[in-house]
Copies of this chain bind each other. A is one copy, B any other.
Amino acid sequence: MLIIDRLISDIDEKQCPIVVGLDPALELVPEFLCKQAEDAYGNTLRGASEALFLFNRHLLDSIHPVVPAVKLQMACYELYGKWGIDAFDRTVKLAKKLGLIVIDDSKRNDIGNTASFYAKGHLGKAPLFDGYDDGDKPDFLTVNPYLGDDTIKPFVTECTNFNKGLFILARTSNKSAGQYQEAVVDGIPLYQKIARDIQQLSATHLGDRGFSTIGAVVGATWPEETKKLREDMPNVFILMPGYGAQGGTADQVTAAFNTDGYGAIVNSSRGIIYAYRSADGKSQYPYEEEFTRASLLAISSMREDLLRSLKQADRLPKNW
């Protein structure tokens, strides 16, 4: 089964178009996990990385039955060097073992030959002296398109070879997104041009559900742009960050879905993984050990929020 079909099927099964962003920041990890990690490996990069992994493990154990996918923000791990990468790899492995689809949010790219190194490292296999390494790799990777389409191709190749998928940045969720993304090419804004190029690319990687393994990133903070892009990319699945902490609302998000209720997955990170913390930074829960209960509640409330908006927009999938 093509990875995009599996993603849609898992969204359907869990009736939940939500991806949880595992973007751990050490100062927000519960104290008891920090203590455990520091006791094991000291006040070191390895200790800090262990705390991130323990945090993820608790979250994954708790959330895996209710969401179809997790997204790992690479910057959070890379900050801790090789031990951070180790925590990233262990999280990917565990998430896959628990049946979750894993999105590697690394926003990588470089020119030709180098792009293929990134593509092999994140989605494919690393060449050894003899044969290839066979470690677990994420299912999807986010990619930056600024360097042009000859730099996208090496990623597409690995998708074809290893049944992986991409989400190419079209319109990001941040405030200054428009600064360069609205430059004009062929009479339309650059982000729209890129979206149309992704649609073109999608035709050769189409799954049974009408969507391609080559997807796009569109920020939840831009509802008007989303509407336009949804029309321009009928076969492109959208990864939508920016809901919640960044200001995107459920009503703004619905434009990313087709009229049949499919076509997008909405990411939330801080709103879910740090749900246990009150505004003053202290735990809302008498026992910090139960912090993932707050995350489950946050997922449930985000899901209700999304489903209500989809229903209002007459876009709730039929069998949900």
Whole-angstrom CA separation of A167 from B277 in the bound complex: 38
Assess whether A297 is interfacial by the CB under 8 Å rule.
Answer: no
Could you tell me if B112 and A174 are in contact, using CB atoms closer than 8 angstroms? Answer: yes
* Residues from chain B with Cβ under 8 Å of A129 in the complex: 26, 34, 38, 43, 47-48, 51
Q: How far is the CA of A183 from the CA of B187 in the complex (A)?
A: 9
Q: Which listed residue (B108, B120, B184) contacts A183, Cβ 8 A?
A: B184
- Contact status A148-B180, CB under 8 Å: yes
Contact A194 B174 (CB under 8 A): no
Partner among B44, B47, B80, B176 whose Cβ is within 8 Å of the Cβ of A150: B176
Query: Given A174-B150, A181-B148, A117–B47 Cβ distance below 8 Å?
Result: no
Given contacts A45-B128, A128-B48, A146-B146, contact A78 B117 (CB under 8 A): yes
Q: Which of B86, B149, B184 interacts with A179 by CB under 8 Å? A: B149
Contact partner of A180 (CB less than 8 A), chosen from B25, B38, B86, B146, is B146
Residues of chain B within 8 A (CB-CB) of A130 are 43
Which residues on the B side are within 8 Å of A169 (C-beta)?
A: 146-147
A128: chain B residues within 8 A (beta carbon): 26, 43-45, 47-48
Query: Are the C-beta atoms of B81 and A118 separated by less than 8 Å?
Result: no
Q: A44-B128, A183-B185 are in contact. Are A111 and B172 (CB under 8 A)?
A: yes
Q: How far is the CB of A135 from chain B (nearest CB, A)?
A: 7
Name A79's contact: one of B38, B126, B151 (CB within 8 Å).
B126
Size of the chain A interface, CB-CB below 8 angstroms: 74
A190 within 8 A of B: yes
Is A145 a contact of B180 with CB atoms below 8 Å?
Answer: yes
CB distance from A77 to the nearest CB of B (A): 9
- Determine if A162 is an interface residue (Cβ-Cβ < 8 Å): no
A114 touches B (CB below 8 Å): yes
Q: Is the CB of A181 within 8 A of B146?
A: yes
Q: Which of A27-83 contact B (CB under 8 A)?
A: 27, 34, 38, 43-45, 47-48, 51, 73, 75-76, 78-83
Complex CA gap A184/B187 in Å reads 9
Contact A83 B80 (CB under 8 A): no
Give chain B nearest CB distance to A232 CB in angstroms. Answer: 16
| Residues in B neighbouring A80, C-beta threshold 8 A | 121, 126, 133
Any B CB within 8 A of the CB of A177: yes
Contacting residues, chain B, for A75 (C-beta < 8 A): 108, 110, 114-115, 117-118, 121
Contact B73 A81 (CB under 8 A): no
Q: A residues within 8 Å of B by Cβ?
A: 23, 25-27, 34, 38, 43-45, 47-48, 51, 73, 75-76, 78-86, 89, 105, 107-112, 114-115, 117-118, 120-122, 126-131, 133, 135, 144-151, 169, 172-185, 190, 193-194, 241
The 8 closest A-B pairs by CB, nearest first: A148-B176, A183-B183, A75-B117, A183-B185, A79-B121, A148-B179, A146-B146, A111-B174
